[in-house]
Amino acid sequence: MRDYLEDTAELLAPFLVSGPCALRLDVGLPTGHDLIDMADLDDYALPVATRLRSQELVSVWCTKRHANTSRVVVARAQEVAAPETTFTVRTTASLQTKAYKQQVRAAVADATEMPAGAVRLQVAFVVGAQRNWLNLWKPTMDALDPLLGRTHPDREWHPKDGRITDHGLHVNVDPSLGHDVLVTIAADQPTSP
Q: Left (φ > 0), alpha (ψ -120 to 50) or beta: where does 32 sit?
A: left
13 or 44: whose pLDDT is higher? 44
- Could you tell me if 86 and 185 are in contact, meaning their C-beta atoms sit under 8 angstroms apart? yes
Question: CATH top-level class for 87-188?
Answer: alpha beta
Q: What is the pLDDT of residues 144-172, one digit of tens each?
A: 999 999 999 999 999 999 999 999 999 99
Contact 124, 170 (CB under 8 A): yes
For the chain, give the percent of residues with pLDDT over 70.
Answer: 99
Q: Mean pLDDT, the chain, as a whole number?
A: 92
In this predicted structure, what is the pLDDT of residue 192?
A: 58
- The strand order across the sheet containing 57-66 reads 71-76, 21-29, 57-66, 164-173, 119-127, 181-188, 87-91
Lowest mean pLDDT among 1-5, 22-26, 35-39, 107-111: 1-5
What is the pLDDT at residue 193? 45
Residue range 28-46: mean pLDDT, rounded: 92
Q: What is the pLDDT of residues 63-111, one digit of tens each?
A: 999 999 999 999 999 988 888 899 999 999 999 999 999 999 999 999 9
Alpha helices, DSSP H, located in the chain:
2-12, 41-52, 98-108, 137-142, 145-148
Look at 14 and 82; give whichever has higher pLDDT: 82
Domain ranges of the chain: 2-76, 87-188
Alpha carbons 58 and 169: distance in angstroms, whole number: 8
Mean pLDDT, residues 116-124 taken together: 96
Q: In 3-state terms, what secondary structure has residue 71?
A: strand
Sequence letter at residue 95: L
CA atoms within 13 A on the CB side of 123: 27
Range of weakest confidence among 1-10, 16-25, 95-104, 123-132: 1-10
Contact 190, 64 (CB under 8 A): no
Rounded to 10°, the helix 2-12/41-52 angle is: 60
